[in-house]
Structure 1
């Protein structure tokens, strides 16, 4: 009789609901964070000489040398610093191809407007 009363106070549906809620919280919060951490570790592991980076302090630099966890960075011509690999925020290797805009030799067509009325 006592087992039956305990089962009535704590139904199986409550356990199923709690497990489902935990699964949803895990998928919404913890899984994306783990994916971001994995991508960051991969990015930090692939750093090489010549990469353009931005540090967590917002400094833009070019990697001159990679020595384990220490990077030699060039912030400006003849301005070199050493930084920890973990100080890299993101890569800026995508070079923008600046295409010069060609000026037209013909004047633009003027729109003819009709007088209101």
Structure 2
């Protein structure tokens, strides 16, 4: 009887977790199925491109990245954007852009100041 009391909550928890996962899978599949040539996409590696061709047999997508054509598995697409507006039509992962926005001039200035500090430290030794 004690075992039954312990198993019931565990089974209920597993049911709701599985239900949530199936819902997420269904949503992701809808996003991938809605992808059409001309849509802007972002891969899981962060590559931005425009869908050029979709091969349903091989389950691949050919992306045009500023004149360079790359072939990816459909599963590697993270975000699909609308072709017309460029706004997110559907997204499988919420955007997490927490990276600071540094211009190349700021980066060069930082690197130069770090190098100067290292040179000073070495000369003092």
TM norm. shorter chain > 0.5: yes
The TM tier, using the shorter chain, reads: 0.5 to 0.7
- Bigger mean CA offset, 85-94 vs 42-51: 85-94
Aligned residues: 83
CA-atom RMSD in angstroms: 2.0
Question: If each structure's helix is expressed as a fraction of its own residues, which one has the higher value?
Answer: 2
2:69 corresponds to which residue?
80
Normalization by structure 2: what TM-score? 0.57
Q: Which of 5, 17, 35 is the matching residue for 2:23?
A: 35
Q: What pairs with 1:1-117 in structure 2 (closer than 5 Å)?
A: 11=1, 14-27=3-16, 29-68=17-56, 69-76=59-66, 78-93=67-82, 95-96=86-87
Normalization by structure 1: what TM-score? 0.60
- For 2:3 and 2:63, locate their aligned partners in 1 and report how far apart those are by CA, in whole Å: 57
Max Rg structure:
1
- For 1:53 and 1:30, locate their aligned partners in 2 and report how far apart those are by CA, in whole Å: 28
